[in-house]
């Protein structure tokens, strides 16, 4: 009997976050990040991340996230830390830069230079971020997987 082929997961197209109000969510995230709005309706908004996006959906009803979170990659982690403090948001305790939005979504901020996640050169160029690079540890991690940047 032959084994059937399984699809291989290759990445994320988007992450969907439930929020209480779309306009409030756009204002909140707009204080923390420079972003382009891909589209919006009364119950949804889409924040462009180059070849990916975050979908904000009205209607959060569950309790705040504890361990469940997603890592949002940014070009300048310290700028986010400052924006959080300027907005009166205290990061969560621990060694990572995590915070909860007003609706309880837990987000970990990750610097592009320090992780294996890599945008294609053409996507970075289109986002105006062609200057971004990886640090030594990230390059080592990528090299070990045969994925070192050119």
pLDDT tens string 56-96 = 999 999 999 999 999 999 999 999 999 999 999 999 999 99
Q: Residue 7's Cα: distance from chain center in Å?
A: 24
In this structure, the dihedral spanned by the alpha carbons of residues 131, 135, 139 and 142, taken in order and rounded to 10 degrees, is -80
- Helices 77-86/22-32 angle, 10° precision: 120
Q: What is the pLDDT of residue 148?
A: 83
All domains of the chain in start order, with CATH: 14-59+68-144 (3.10.180.10)
pTM, two decimal places: 0.89
Euclidean distance between CA atoms 108 and 99, whole angstroms:
7
Euclidean distance between CA atoms 130 and 122, whole angstroms:
8
* pLDDT above 80 (res 2): no
């Amino acid at each position: 009997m032959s084994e059937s082929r399984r699809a291989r997961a290759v990445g994320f197209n988007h992450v969907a976050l439930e929020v209480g109000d779309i306009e409030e969510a756009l204002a909140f995230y707009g204080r923390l990040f420079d972003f382009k709005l891909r589209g919006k309706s009364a119950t949804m908004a889409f924040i462009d991340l180059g070849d990916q996006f975050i979908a904000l959906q009205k209607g959060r009803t569950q309790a705040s996230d504890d361990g469940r979170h997603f890592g949002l990659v940014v070009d300048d982690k310290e700028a986010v830390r400052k924006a959080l403090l300027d907005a009166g948001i205290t990061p969560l305790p621990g060694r990572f830069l995590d915070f909860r939005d007003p609706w309880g979504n837990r987000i970990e901020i990750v610097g592009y230079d320090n992780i294996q996640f890599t945008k294609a050169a053409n996507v970075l160029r289109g986002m105006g971020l062609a200057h971004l690079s990886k640090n030594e540890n990230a390059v080592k991690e990528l090299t070990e997987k045969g994925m070192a940047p050119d």
